[in-house]
Amino acid sequence: MLDNILYYIGQFLGIVAVILGFVSFQMKTPKKILACQITVAFLFAAHYMLIGAFDAAPLNLLAAVSNILYYFRAKRGSKSLFEPIFYIAMITFIGILTWESWYTIILMFGLYATAVGLSLTEPQNTRKVMLIKAPLCLVYNALSYR
């Protein structure tokens, strides 16, 4: 019974995360996009943990932390390539450590797009790259549905 309740709470958090993800596309500045994406990543981490997708939860926690660091990077005005390369390496490392199935790589590619997209300073370019993440994450969700 408790498992069912946690599962439905997880699904609700996933729906809220998807809605907030769409809202982030309406934001006018990279900092506002990042603020939404930070919340989205934390919600998806909780969602995946509650539905039992234990490969995706740590990856989304990493995404949340990287989004926070990108937020402060944007405030500093930095345009270094170090951060996106570092996050891509960390996504790969954590993805390998938490590997559950071949479709884990689909989520990893979605998070790679996030790492690149959020490092861009032009909001329009950020939105374009972030459009890659949404379908990949939806495919991952469909495949990992238990």
pLDDT digits (tens, 9 = 90+) for 96-131: 999 988 989 999 999 999 889 888 878 888 888 888
What is the model's pTM?
0.85
Which amino acid appears at position 45 of this protein?
A: A
Q: How many helices (H) and strands (E) does the chain have?
A: 6, 0
pLDDT of residue 120: 83
Residue with tokens 């993805």: 95
pLDDT of residue 76: 79
Distance CA 52, CA 81 (A): 34
Distance CA 123, CA 51 (A): 32
Distance CA 94, CA 108 (A): 9
**Is 51:11 a contact under the CB 8 Å cutoff?**
yes
According to DSSP, residue 118 is labeled T
pLDDT of residue 32: 87
pLDDT of residue 146: 55
Spans in the chain with pLDDT lower than 70: 145-146
